[in-house]
Structure 1
Amino acid sequence: MPRSPQEIFERYVYAGAMTRNADAVAESFTEDGVLEAPLMPPGASFPRRLVGRDEIRTALAAYYARQARDDRVPNLEKSGYVLHTTSDPDVFIAEIDTVFDGDGDADDTAVSLVQIFRVREDRIARLRDYFAPGLMS
């Protein structure tokens, strides 16, 4: 039975945002999958475009290693998302509002983004991730 958009999305989020497991993120993509962050400027710390499972794995492992000191984890009770299906059964859109708890007196940090997923055989064939580039530095 094919995976639902919800299952594909939750698997991807758990592998990336929750556990920062580059191997698991890469395995959620097709062998020729594409991960794009079109709003990222050239030379940014987060890759703008990755093609293929191996490149996704390698680049995200390096990115997660650079971010190791950032121990922020999304507050799941304050965060949320809405999935939108489309007329194309292989495409769905995620609207995401992620909240990170503030440190002591600091306010919570809210991050809003949109992701467009194109899937093939229960894996992500293309993911376009739209977020404010300053959030990934």
Structure 2
Amino acid sequence: MTRTPQQIFENYVHAGALTRNADALAAAFTADGVFEAPLMPADAGFPRRLVGREEIRDAMAAYYARQAAGGRVPNLEKSGYVLHTTADPDVFIAEIDTVFDGDGADGEDGEDGEDGEADQVVSLVQIFRIRDGKIARLRDYFAPELMS
């Protein structure tokens, strides 16, 4: 059964950003799959380049463990994305705006107030190359300071 870009993307987001399940995330990739975050500095806590399911699983499990204490969860109702297909049927692009709620101390309806913290919007672009319904290469472009 052929998986659509929508299904592949939703599976990837669920495994990673929503559930932080490194095993499921790695399973979304081909055995030789590559994950790249080209804008990350080499010494960053977030991996810059991972090759193969095992390396993806191990590095992302370690990253998720470090983030567990103060880990933020995206607000799915406020967040959004658009998928763009390309002339190459094995490549699609995700344009994403992920919203993390502020503390809303003074605001109603999740808005920031005088003393409240504003929602944070993280915009990024991901380029997916797929093979046999799995991610063969993912390039994730976002501002590196957002991952500190």
Cα deviation, residue 71, structure 1: 3.1
**2:136 counterpart residue number:** 125
The aligned counterpart of 1:69 is 69
Give distance in 1, aligned partners of 2:79 and 2:18: 12
- What's the RMSD between the two structures over aligned residues? 0.6
Q: Using the alignment, how far apart are the partners of 2:42 and 2:8 within structure 1?
A: 29
For 1:45, give the aligned amino acid.
Answer: G
Partner of 1:78: 78
Give the corresponding residue for 1:101. Answer: 101
Query: What amino acid sits opposite 1:34 in the alignment?
Result: V
Amino acid paired to 2:93: I
How far apart are 1:69 and its partner, in Å?
Answer: 1.1
SS of structure 2 residue aligned to 1:111: strand
**Per-residue CA distance 1:83-118 (angstroms, 9 max, x = gap):** 000000000000000000001311000000000000
Superposition pairs for residues 1-137 of structure 1, below 5 Å?
A: 1-103=1-103, 104=105, 105-137=116-148
Identity, in percent, stands at 77
Deviant stretches of 4+, over 3 Å: none
Structure 1 unaligned segments of length 5 or more: list them.
none
Give the whole-Å Cα distance in 2 for the aligned partners of 1:135 and 1:12. 19
TM-score (norm 1): 0.99
Q: Which amino acid aligns with 1:59?
A: A
- CA deviation after TM superposition for structure 1 residue 41, in Å: 0.4
Structure possessing the higher radius of gyration over alpha carbons: 2
Unaligned runs of 5+ in 2: 106-115
Any idea what SS the aligned residue of 1:43 has? Answer: coil
